Amino acid sequence: MSYETILVETRDAVGIIRLNRPKALNALSRQLIADLNAALDDFEADAGIGAIVLTGSEKAFAAGADIKEMQALGYVDVFMDDFVARWEQLSRVRKPVIAAVAGFALGGGCELALMCDLVIAADNAKFGQPEITLGLMPGAGGTQRLARSVGKAKTMDMVLTGRMIDASEAERIGLVSRVVPTDELVETAIAVAQKMAGLSLPAVMMAKEAVNRAFESPLADGIRTERRLFHSLFATEDAREGMEAFLDKRPAAFRNR
Query: What residues act catalytically?
Result: 65, 108, 111, 131
If you ran DSSP here, which 8-state letter would residue 239 be given?
H
**Which residue, 13 or 105, has its beta carbon nearer to ligand CO8?**
105
H or E, element range at 179: strand 178-180
Q: Binding to ligand CO8 (CB under 6 A): which residues in 168-207? A: none
Q: How far is the CB of 147 from ligand CO8 (least distance, A)?
A: 15
Q: How far is the CB of 81 from ligand CO8 (least distance, A)?
A: 10
Residue 67 within binding range of ligand CO8, rule CB under 6 A: yes
**Which residue, 14 or 25, has its beta carbon nearer to ligand CO8?**
25
Residue 65 within binding range of ligand CO8, rule CB under 6 A: yes
Q: Which stretch binds ligand CO8 (CB under 6 A): 116-124, 138-146, 168-176, 182-190?
A: 138-146
With contacts defined by CB under 6 A, how many residues of the chain interact with ligand CO8? 22
Residue 87 within binding range of ligand CO8, rule CB under 6 A: yes
Which of 16, 93, 97, 106: binder of ligand CO8 (CB under 6 A)?
106
Measure the CA–CA gap between 66 and 232, rounded to whole angstroms. Answer: 43
Which of 13, 25, 165, 170: binder of ligand CO8 (CB under 6 A)?
25
Q: Which stretch binds ligand CO8 (CB under 6 A): 7-15, 65-73, 182-190, 219-227?
A: 65-73
CA-to-CA dists, residue 203 to 7, 80, 99, angstroms: 29, 39, 21
Confirm if 129 and 99 have CB atoms less than 8 A apart.
no
Q: What does residue 189 show for φ and ψ, rounded to 5 degrees?
A: -60, -40
Number of helices and strands (H, E) in the chain? 12, 10
Q: Report DSSP letters for 160-220, one per residue.
A: HH---EEHHHHHHTTS-SEEE-GGGHHHHHHHHHHHHHTS-HHHHHHHHHHHHHTTTS-HH
How many CB atoms neighbour CB 139 within 10 A?
Answer: 17
β-sheet with 126-128: strand ranges across: 60-62, 104-106, 126-128, 165-166
Confirm if 18 and 7 have CB atoms less than 8 A apart.
yes
Residue 104 within binding range of ligand CO8, rule CB under 6 A: yes
Residue 83 within binding range of ligand CO8, rule CB under 6 A: yes
Q: How far is the CB of 215 from ligand CO8 (least distance, A)?
A: 19
Which of 57, 118, 139, 182: binder of ligand CO8 (CB under 6 A)?
139
Contacting residues toward ligand CO8, per CB under 6 A: 24-25, 27, 63-68, 83-84, 87, 104, 106-108, 130-131, 134, 138-140
